[in-house]
Amino acid sequence: MPTRKPPPLRKDARRNRTALLTAAKAAFAEEGLNATLEGIARRAEVSIGTLYRHFPTRMDLVAVVIADKKRAWIKAAETAVAMESAWDGLAFFLERTCELQAGDLAFNDIASMRFPHAPGIEAARKRAYDLGGRIIERAQAEGSLRPDLTPADLAFIVWAQSRISEATHAIDPDAWRRYLAITLDGLRAKAAHPLAVTPLRPRQVMRAQLELGRRRLR
């Protein structure tokens, strides 16, 4: 590996770095990923220059703050694929994804693709997408999931949910569950009526992601 181990940080530097991450985590969660960097520096009681020394770009900060949830997300997908009941796997995956974004506008922004170029997210997204495909296949093979659903549809369902948790996270952190339950009822094979509109092709889904990202961020 070409990367050298970074030299140890000085004590004050370590303290400031921690303070910045704490402040950023809170600010991003409350205000979304476009929280102002100056505000984060103020919150951490550190000068703006120090913020930039530690995190030269906003993305560097985002990457660290997001890391945990990103891992949790992938793990949820892997767990879902391994569940005995494929339907339960699907429901678990959707619930867990929505749970991660509820009350955390940072992950909400990520899940809604408002930061399409967030670092390290690309890979996680691809992985989650692939796993999502397998979750769907299994549930369709099992006969519990409507046969016309595609992996891209999963993304749209999560995006749609993201607006609901965006609206309700401060009022009732569990409100989104109600609407996810309704959607799940619509996903069952027994409930399915034929869909008149075809799903977006993968290329189009990517463009839709970028479109969401264009909206008032960055």
Partner DNA sequence: CGATAACGTGAGGGGGGCCTCGACTTAAAC
Partner DNA sequence: GTTTAAGTCGAGGCCCCCCTCACGTTATCG
Q: Is 50 in the site for DNA (CB under 7 A)?
A: yes
Distance of CA 137 to the CA centre of its chain: 22
Q: Which of 27, 37, 102, 145 binds DNA (CB under 7 A)?
A: 37
Q: How far is the CB of 13 from DNA (least distance, A)?
A: 4
From the list 47-55, 83-91, 123-131, 164-172, the region that binds DNA by CB under 7 A is 47-55
Q: 116, 207 in Cβ contact below 8 A?
A: no
Residues 6+ apart with CB under 8 A from 141: 86
Burial label, 120 (beta-carbon count in 10 A; 0-12, 13-18, 19+): middle
Q: Which of 21, 26, 39, 142 binds DNA (CB under 7 A)?
A: 39
What DSSP letter does each residue of 172-213 carry, written as one string?
-TTHHHHHHHHHHHHHBGGG----SSPPPPHHHHHHHHHHHH
Q: Which of 15, 75, 207, 218 binds a second copy (CB under 8 A)?
A: 207
What is the spatial distance between Cα 218 and Cα 85, in angstroms, rounded to a whole number?
41
Sites of contact with DNA (CB under 7 A): 7, 9-13, 15-16, 34, 36-39, 46-50, 52-54, 56-58
Sites of contact with a second copy (CB under 8 A): 32, 34, 112-113, 146, 153, 156-157, 159-164, 166-172, 174-175, 177-179, 181-188, 190-193, 195-200, 204, 207-209, 211-212, 215-217
